[in-house]
Amino acid sequence: MSADDDRAIKLREAGEREAARLWRAWRTVHEMVQDRGYELTEEEVKISLDQFKANFTGPDGTIDRRLMRFSARPSDAMMIKYANVPTANNPAAASADIGTIWIEFLPDSSVGIKQMRNFAQYLASNNFHTGILVTNVNITPAALKIIPAVASETRIECFVEQDLLVNITHHELVPKHVLLSKEEKTKLLERYRLKDTQLPRIQLGDPVARYLGLRRGQVVKIIRKSETAGRYASYRLCV
């Protein structure tokens, strides 16, 4: 075997590993978006590796991250979960604080202020309520400061591909987390005569909180298995 043949084999094997890695990240992102309540078909979520490569391989034979971008609309159930609780001043059902989500896989080898501003502007100009930016490198601290600066216009979440290779919610030691609607949260606090600040807490940066896109002030129901009770539930406030 010549040196050129050996080099070609190594490049092909590296390309196969990269495709498999991106496919796993793609699958996790789709499962995450679906678990939050957005509308995706099973065909989109459970795409095979071969189909993934067929769909997203660029002219140079490698996976083109720019082709992997997609959007999803919230389901009716998700709209209900994010609906504001009717009040005496506004007894009618209020609009939900949720909307279409846009997911983009960035191919850039460095992600700074320019890329983050471009992403934020794209979300705002296309009326996306939320955007998820998936990068293959860490984002600079200066770029991350843009996220709170544009929070009144659009919500931005960031993930690194490496952190998406495995869906953490599929691990047997991670209990099921269910987001409560605002109405369910109100009823929970009334039932136990609590203030939300009296509930145990889950940090905004907790891996499961990030997976579900939790916001400060939201409450999740955590369902655990019990040898004696079968299942039991606890509640945590996102802070």
**pLDDT, tens only, 4-37:** 666 666 777 878 999 999 999 999 999 999 999 9
In which order are the strands placed within the sheet that holds 230-238? 176-179, 219-226, 230-238, 201-202
**Looking at residue 207, which CATH number applies to its domain?**
3.90.940.20
175 and 161 inside one domain: no
Split at pLDDT 50, 70, 90, the class of 61 is confident
Q: Compute the average pLDDT of residues 213-233.
A: 90
Residue 90 has pLDDT above 80, yes or no: no
Please identify, among 137, 166, 195, the residue that sits at the C-terminal boundary of a domain: 166
**pLDDT, tens only, 153-166:** 999 999 999 999 99
Number of domains the chain contains: 2
> pTM (2 decimals)?
0.91
Please identify, among 120, 140, 166, the residue that sits at the C-terminal boundary of a domain: 166
Q: Which amino acid is located at 64 in the chain?
A: D
| Cα diameter, the chain | 80
The domain containing residue 196 runs over which residues? 169-238
| Least confident piece of the model among 5-9, 44-48, 70-74, 195-199 | 5-9
Q: Which amino acid is located at 146 in the chain?
A: I
